[in-house]
Structures are given as structure tokens and as C-alpha cells.
Amino acid sequence: MRHAVHVAQWVTLAYFLSVHGAYFVLDLIAFLAVGRSVHNRDTLVAYRRSYGLEPPVTVLVPAYNEAAVIVPTVRALLQLDYPQFEVVVVNDGSSDDTMRVLDEAFGLEPCPRLYQARLDAAPIRGVYIARSTAALRVVDKDNGGKADSLNAGLNVAQYPLFCAVDADSILQRDSLLKVITPFVEDPTTVAAGGTVRVLNGSEVSEGFLRRPRLPRNRLARIQVVEYMRAFLFGRVGWSPLRGVLIISGAFGVFRRAEVVEMGGYRVDTVGEDAELVMRLHRHCRARRRPYRISFVPDPICWTEAPEDVRSLGRQRIRWQRGLAESLLGNRALLHQPGVAGWVAYPFLLIFECLGPLVELAGYLFVVAATLAGLLSVQALLAFLLLAVALGTVLSLSALLLEERWFRNYTEPRALVRLLGAALAENLGYRQLNLVWRVVGLFRFVSGRHTGWGHVRRVSAAAG
């Protein structure tokens, strides 16, 4: 028995060390990559802008019951600082006044010719063009989910690149200019994502972020640090290695021809964003096309984070389920040589997808073994302290990266509050998250459906 406990103890410890070790490596890569990217960022954007060389982009906005925010969101999108773009709003059979408020604000004119059925989508009720600006198109369709709405939007899109944006996301005026950089610098780029940040507490007016501020709500503040860590290490760290497997559904730019050629978004998954990126890897590799999927470290999209435990739990359960679905659906990536298939995919599978099971089992085992007297209290304490300390180091290094290159939160008190959140993240929040992720895995196995997954709005953006 003691021997079994000894082995289990070492397995748990080895898992903890390997997961944190892997994150430290990504951490180091991100430090180097972000530095190089940020040095160039403004200069490159400035030079490109003076010659107007950005490719035209279609901004797709799927909307389900977004009557409260859709008009300011669209107005803000139409004012993006970008030479040539169009906005396509897809109303996914909303039961509220989404269509009516759009019509009242922009004056919609029926224009069915704009719709080209390249991808399957739920039945279309109407396709409209705004009287006030030809850059706004609206598709009204039966309810079919977010992925289905994006496919319908792609049937109206006319530009070579498209950007999928959540209707409740807030962009910065120069978001498109920044995220488009990989497409200009490397014509083989097929997708690029940007860092998403927590909007709660920030000053928003007329659909634009005026000043980032930390949320008053503690749960949201912890998520600020969590998002920093997840995006700066989890995504940016993979970019130079060509191993980006997830681009957030809240903001990502894709080459339309590739996505249409693959059959568009899959409608039978809740993680359509990650699934699309993994399928893009497979698609390009299978055709032996040179390609790149990049990630831009700049914070370019701000989104509402849940401020109550219930909403947060629902969100995390949905995310975990989506990740599991995406990984399972794209397991063929493992047979395709390269960082994406042989390094990033196993990393996601072992540490992000199955990791919560191992980690939770580890916590339970250590506590149970201590209670049974098979493990000393000192060993239990050492294990818990190590888990917390390693997590804190990762959170703090994300904070250091943010402070060095972005400095979004300039108030003197903000740094202290962020440091507090970085510590709090590892004392309770991470463990709670673990439970939700395990539930998400069980939901994936049991096949229980989750819908659009709205977050209850709390910030000024809602107004």
C-alpha cells in the first residue's frame, strides 16, 4: 500500500512539475516574442497606413438577442480605423427586437442578391443593406447557433479576409490595423488572433474603450490576471513555434477562401473557434500548403467577464466541453508532423483538456492520503505550497510582461490590486475552476447541449 502511495505521490508531483515546466517554457518564449513584436508594432502599422496597404476585411457579427447592445456595437465597428471594410450582422433568429432596432438605426433595404450560398446555413429570412452606409449588411435567419450564423455571414462576405467578432465585444479603433499585421508581413498567413482582455470596470463610450480600468468585482479582477496569463503565454508563446491551436471566438481574423474551402464553421460543437483553427492546421497540412497561424499580443478586444460564480461556472464548463470536442474532432492532427500536431496538440490534450482530471485527482489523493496517515502533514503542506507558489510565479510573470510592454492599467493602485488578484487566483479560484472543467469534461462525455452561452452584462458597454 505504502509503495502504491509512494508511486502515486511521485506521479502527482511529476505532473505538477511538468505542467508548470511547460508553462515556464512558453513563458520564456512569450517574453522574447512579445518584446520583438511590440518593438515593431507601432512602426509597422504607421508605415503601412501611410501607403494604405491593408487588405479589405469583412467584420462578421453574429447576434442572438442583442437588441440592447447591437446598435452601439455596429456604430463603433463602422468607425474602426481601417481603410476598407464592411460589417455583416447576422441575426440568429433573435426573439427580441434586434432586427427592429437595426432597421430603425440604419434603415435596412432588402437585397437578396448579396447572398451567395457557398456554405450551408439555417433558412434565411432576409438579406439587407443599410440605406445610410453600403458598408453595413444584415442577414436575418432562423436560429441555428453561433457557428451557423458565422457561416451565413460568410455567404454575404465579399472581402478576402473576415474577422469574427462577438456582438458584446468592444474593440479599439486600431484593432483591425494591429491584427492584420501577420497577413501583410507573411502572405501565407491564414488566421490571426489577438489578445482578449476583461472589459468590466473600464470606461466605454459610444462603443469604444476609452480607458481600461480594473473591475471592482473581485472575481472579475482575478479573471483580468487569468486572461493575461492565458493569452500572453498560452497563445502568444505558441505563435513563434507555429503551434497556435486556439483563436478566441471573440476576435479572430481568417482568410475567407480557406475557411469556405473547408466547409466553414462546424455547427455541432460549442467550441467552434478552436475547432476551426485546428481544422485549418489539418487542411493546410493535408494539402501541403505553406501556411501560418499567428497571434498578436496586443490587447485588441475587450470582453465582458462573468461577475458571479454561477455565470462563470457555466462559461468554464462550456469552454472545457468545446475544447474536448475540438480536440477529439481533430485527433487526425496527431498524424501530421509538425509543432501543431506533435507538440501543441498533445500539450492541449494532456495539460488543458485532461489536466483538470489529473490535477483534481492529485489534490484529492494527497488530502486523502494525509487523512489516512499515509502521508505526513508536512508533505501535504509542501505540496499545496508548491502548487500555489508555482501558479503565483506564472501569474506574476504575466503581470510583469503586461507591465513591461502594455501598461493598460496606469493608476498607481492598479498594480497593487493586480498583485493581490494574482495571489488570490491561486488560492481558491484555480481550484474552483478545476471543478468546473471536470464538470465540462463530464458534460462532453454525456453529450449535454449548451446554447449561445451569454454572459450577464454588468459594464457600461451594455448601455
- Helix 309-329 to helix 218-229 angle (10° resolution) is 20
Please list every residue from 153 through 192 that binds other proteins, using CB under 8 A.
158, 184-188
Residue 337: CB atoms within 10 Å = 9
Among 286, 364, 372, 381, binds other proteins (CB under 8 A): 381
Contact indicator for 266, 330 with CB cutoff of 8 Å: no
Cell of 155: 455567404
Applying CB under 8 A, the span of 59-67, 115-123, 265-273, 306-314 interacting with other proteins comes to: 115-123
Name the residue nearer to other proteins (CB basis): 18 or 158.
158
Quickly count helices (H) and strands (E) in the chain. Answer: 16, 12
Under the criterion CB under 8 A, does residue 396 sit at the interface with other proteins?
yes
Under the criterion CB under 8 A, does residue 47 sit at the interface with other proteins?
yes
* Closest CA relative to residue 62, chosen from 159, 125, 140, 114: 140
Name the residue nearer to other proteins (CB basis): 212 or 341.
212
Under the criterion CB under 8 A, does residue 337 sit at the interface with other proteins?
no
CB of 437 to other proteins, least distance (A): 23
Among 5, 22, 44, 334, binds other proteins (CB under 8 A): 44
Distance CA 203, CA 75 (A): 17
* Closest CA relative to residue 161, chosen from 179, 149, 148, 143: 179
Q: Is 220 exposed, middle or buried (0-12, 13-18, 19+ CB in 10 A)?
A: buried
Residues in the chain: 463
Phi and psi torsions of 8, nearest 5°: -60, -40
What 3-state class would DSSP assign to 450?
Answer: coil
Q: How many residues sit close enough to other proteins to count as binding (CB under 8 A)?
A: 50
Under the criterion CB under 8 A, does residue 36 sit at the interface with other proteins?
yes
CB of 116 to other proteins, least distance (A): 3
* Closest CA relative to residue 444, chosen from 348, 319, 278: 319
Under the criterion CB under 8 A, does residue 81 sit at the interface with other proteins?
no
**Count of alpha carbons within 13 angstroms of residue 102, beta-carbon side:** 32
CB of 313 to other proteins, least distance (A): 28
Name the residue nearer to other proteins (CB basis): 204 or 399.
399
Applying CB under 8 A, the span of 119-127, 214-222, 350-358, 436-444 interacting with other proteins comes to: 119-127
* Closest CA relative to residue 265, chosen from 92, 430, 446, 460: 92
Under the criterion CB under 8 A, does residue 46 sit at the interface with other proteins?
yes
Q: What is the CA 438 to chain-centroid distance, rounded? A: 20
Under the criterion CB under 8 A, does residue 257 sit at the interface with other proteins?
no
Applying CB under 8 A, the span of 42-50, 208-216, 293-301, 313-321 interacting with other proteins comes to: 42-50
Contacts of 212 (CB under 8 A, 6+ apart): 197, 202, 299, 302, 408, 409
Applying CB under 8 A, the span of 1-9, 68-76, 245-253, 403-411 interacting with other proteins comes to: 403-411
Residue 364: CB atoms within 10 Å = 10
- For 205, the enclosing helix (H) or strand (E) is strand 203-205
Under the criterion CB under 8 A, does residue 57 sit at the interface with other proteins?
no
CB of 115 to other proteins, least distance (A): 5
Geometric angle at alpha carbon 303, from 300 and 307, rounded to 5°: 145
Under the criterion CB under 8 A, does residue 343 sit at the interface with other proteins?
no
Name the residue nearer to other proteins (CB basis): 63 or 156.
156
Q: What is the DSSP letter of 375?
A: S
As beta bridge partners, residue 164 has: 60, 252
Among 100, 287, 289, 404, binds other proteins (CB under 8 A): 404
CB of 440 to other proteins, least distance (A): 28
Applying CB under 8 A, the span of 111-119, 195-203, 271-279, 327-335 interacting with other proteins comes to: 111-119
Contact indicator for 135, 61 with CB cutoff of 8 Å: no
Site string for other proteins, 121-160 (x = CB under 8 A): --xx--x-x----x-----------------------x--
Under the criterion CB under 8 A, does residue 415 sit at the interface with other proteins?
yes
Under the criterion CB under 8 A, does residue 22 sit at the interface with other proteins?
no
Residues engaged in binding other proteins (CB under 8 A):
36, 39-40, 42-44, 46-48, 50-53, 55, 111-117, 123-124, 127, 129, 134, 158, 184-188, 378, 381-382, 385-386, 389-390, 392-393, 396-397, 399-400, 403-404, 407, 415, 419
